[in-house]
Amino acid sequence: MNETTIELSGIKKSYENKTVLNGLDLTVQKGSVLGLLGTNGSGKTTLIKCALGLIRPQSGEARLLGEPAWTLSPEAKSRIGYVPQVINLYEWMTVRDLIDYTAPFYPSWNQDLVARLIKELDIPPEDRVGPLSVGQRQKVAILLALGHEPDLLILDEPAASLDPLARRKFLQMIIDLAEPDKRTVLFSTHITSDLERVADSVAILKSGIIAWHGLLEDLKEQTHVNLEDTFLEMHYA
């Protein structure tokens, strides 16, 4: 039987007079790589924050790793890696200091993996975080999220600020990380080509609900057109 890693049931979230999520349901099975596809402003970040227990929906239930998201245990939190869309890091630290500060929070921290990622992502470990470019900060955030080899990796537009070469390297890392039945990955994007390189399943967010959810290959077979055309048709028809 498949284990459920993320379960969202009837999630409603509004800000002032704007409804962002409108009774949304979504289930993510263990070991899957799910691409959450939606236009900018469609509510992808809100969905992710509800799933992580970072914001509380007005109604509905969010469960993560078998626990209520709003009251996650420390053990469950230690099994999650998260890269937000807006990166906030300690700007006065060097990259190396930030890694050394973060590592003790995770018993499973893999220093050899971190050293390899520093080289592969071309991260300057002795530079201070403050002056780094947006793309470099995003690389550091990705490294910190991967360093403890999480069971669940959640990424909000993770490659948006990366150059094409860094984007390809990052997507390859996602493929390597998400070995069959080993780890679960949820990443949001509005770039369909990223989805096609990495995801085995896709959920399309539109008008506050999941308009389509299933295997990526099934979506392609049903529509007989490329993924980008399908996505645009669903949103702008």
| 91 and 55 belong to one structural domain | no
| 34 and 145 belong to one structural domain | no
Question: What is the DSSP track for 55-73?
Answer: S--SEEEEEETTEEGGG--
CA angle 53, 57, 62 (to 5 degrees): 50
Sign of CA dihedral 189, 191, 194, 200: positive
What is the domain extent for residue 159? 4-79+151-236
| 159 and 51 belong to one structural domain | yes
Sign of CA dihedral 155, 5, 232, 11: negative
Give the sheet arrangement for strand 80-83, strand by strand: 80-83, 152-156, 184-189, 33-37, 201-206, 209-215
If you search the block for the tokens 């537009």, which residue do you land on?
157
pLDDT (mean) for 191-198: 78
| 145 and 157 belong to one structural domain | no
| 44 and 160 belong to one structural domain | yes
pLDDT at 226 exceeding the cut of 90 = no
pLDDT in tens, 91-127: 999 999 999 999 999 989 999 999 999 998 889 999 9
pLDDT at 131 exceeding the cut of 80 = yes
| 57 and 130 belong to one structural domain | no
Q: Is 193 left (phi over 0), alpha (psi -120 to 50) or beta?
A: alpha
Domain end: 103, 134, 150, which one? 150
How far is CA 221 from each of CA 138, 207, 215, 216, rounded to the nearest angstrom? 35, 24, 10, 9
| 144 and 161 belong to one structural domain | no
4 SS3 class? strand
| 170 and 227 belong to one structural domain | yes
| 231 and 203 belong to one structural domain | yes
pLDDT at 75 exceeding the cut of 80 = yes
| 56 and 164 belong to one structural domain | yes
Instruction: Using alpha carbons, select from 209, 233, 236 the residue that is nearest to residue 219.
Output: 233
| 226 and 159 belong to one structural domain | yes
Structural domains in the chain (count): 2
